[in-house]
Amino acid sequence: MVSLEDLQKIFRGEIKISEPMSEHTWLKVGGPADYYLKPSDREDILQLIDFFKEREFPYMIVGRGSNLLIHDDGFRGAMINLEVLLAGIRVEDDTVIVDAGVWISTFVNFCIQYGYAGAEMLAGIPGTVGGAIRMNAGAYGGEISDYLLDVEVIRDSKTMTVKKADAGFGYRRSGFINDVVLSARFRFPKGEKEDLMRIRRELLIKRNAAQPVDLPNTGSIFKNPEGNFAAKLIDTCGLKGKRIGGAMISELHANFIVNVQNAKAKDVFDLMVIMRNEVYKQFGVLLEHEVLLVGFSKDELSMLQNTPSEISG
């Protein structure tokens, strides 16, 4: 464990101790993180990362927590949030330069105002640009990496630029698992502002009709398997509306779990296991979870691993 006294010697930003992560996740679920930290400037982040690495103290960056399921026992380590620090967005030579802490909605609006086409597909994704790059978030046929040029990261204690071709992007994945994303540069084709606004409006209407946006959730629980839709498979298993504790498989969208009443992470996790096992039993398809699980033991995680032998019953 890192002591508060030692941490304060090297860190100038905001420190919260034993911070409930339910206050920092979209799903409103998750126990306490030992430390919840907001660095004050870039130097502060670099020093912090070095400090934790030297001490082998676990840390992770958390954006808006919109793709996270954090264990009820919380996270033994530090959660680092960059939303306040890395909040700039600008255009230089037709290139959009955006900091990692900027919300996707702000990024989309900014691009539309400048008449840049391509970001509007991401409207309605509630994360930060950093989280979206880490996840290679996407919707309606577009992904955040589509018009990306490069990403500025902290890797191996150094700040460096990673070109798109070297970023390891795939379906909801990137090679930034162990990096801190600081900023990114994009070059979009030009579009008509009015058209882009219309597309954004239409996509938001579609999204709001199809997803349970009025209840805390964590987006799609499972990735779509090749040539199929996770929601369709789960729905066919008759699981919509299934409830454990305060968590329920959405009646609107079978690949969403909603927090209907003070859900625990365990409620959500148990529903995930049921969804996955039922789909495997009925279709022989092993679903891979898209939502990231934090603070879960190896044994718990093994219940969601992609090996048929793990499936019980």
Ligand X SMILES: Cc1cc2nc3c(=O)[nH]c(=O)nc-3n(C[C@H](O)[C@H](O)[C@H](O)COP(=O)(O)OP(=O)(O)OC[C@H]3O[C@@H](n4cnc5c(N)ncnc54)[C@H](O)[C@@H]3O)c2cc1C
| Residue 147: strand, helix, or coil | coil
Residue 290 designated active-site: yes
Question: Looking at 19, 152, 278, 290, which residue is catalytic?
Answer: 290
Q: Of 74, 130, 191, 295, which one interacts with ligand X (CB under 6 A)?
A: 130
How many Cα atoms occupy the beta-carbon half-sphere of 270 within 13 Å?
13
Find tokens 């992007």 and name the residue: 169
Q: Of 46, 89, 97, 139, which one interacts with ligand X (CB under 6 A)?
A: 139
- Work out whether 132 is an interface residue with ligand X (CB under 6 A): yes
How distant, in Å, are the alpha carbons of 57, 278, 296, 302, 305 from that of 308? Answer: 34, 12, 20, 11, 9
How distant, in Å, are the alpha carbons of 1, 71, 156 from that of 55? Answer: 9, 23, 15
- Work out whether 98 is an interface residue with ligand X (CB under 6 A): no
Instruction: State how beta strands 148-155 and 158-163 pair.
Output: antiparallel
- Work out whether 22 is an interface residue with ligand X (CB under 6 A): no
Tell me whether residue 135 or residue 277 sits nearer to ligand X (CB atom). 135
**DSSP character string of 82-142:** -TTTS--EEEETTEEEEETTSBHHHHHHHHHHTTB-SSGGGTT--SBHHHHHHHT-EETTE
Q: Of 30, 39, 219, 295, which one interacts with ligand X (CB under 6 A)?
A: 219
Contacts of 292 (CB under 8 A, 6+ apart): 67, 68, 69
Question: Looking at 66, 183, 220, 250, which residue is catalytic?
Answer: 220
Site for ligand X in 39-78 (CB under 6 A): 60-68
Minimum distance from CB of 214 to ligand X (Å)?
A: 10
Contact 108, 80 (CB under 8 A): no
Minimum distance from CB of 115 to ligand X (Å)?
A: 23
Tell me whether residue 51 or residue 280 sits nearer to ligand X (CB atom). 51
| Residue 238: strand, helix, or coil | coil
Tell me whether residue 217 or residue 277 sits nearer to ligand X (CB atom). 217
How many Cα atoms occupy the beta-carbon half-sphere of 91 within 13 Å?
12
- Work out whether 296 is an interface residue with ligand X (CB under 6 A): no
- Work out whether 118 is an interface residue with ligand X (CB under 6 A): no
Site for ligand X in 221-280 (CB under 6 A): none
Where does residue 214 rank: exposed (0-12), middle (13-18), buried (19+ CB within 10 A)?
exposed
Minimum distance from CB of 5 to ligand X (Å)?
A: 27
Tell me whether residue 53 or residue 190 sits nearer to ligand X (CB atom). 53
- Work out whether 293 is an interface residue with ligand X (CB under 6 A): no
Rounded distance, CA 277 to CA 279, Å?
A: 6
Judged by CB under 6 A, the stretch of 3-11, 177-185, 224-232, 299-307 that binds ligand X is 177-185
Question: Looking at 40, 42, 155, 172, which residue is catalytic?
Answer: 172
Q: Of 2, 13, 16, 26, which one interacts with ligand X (CB under 6 A)?
A: 26
Q: Under the rule (CB under 6 A), what is the footprint of ligand X?
A: 26, 60-68, 82, 100, 125-128, 130-132, 134-135, 137-139, 172, 176, 179-181, 211, 213, 217-219, 292
Active site positions, annotated: 172, 220, 290
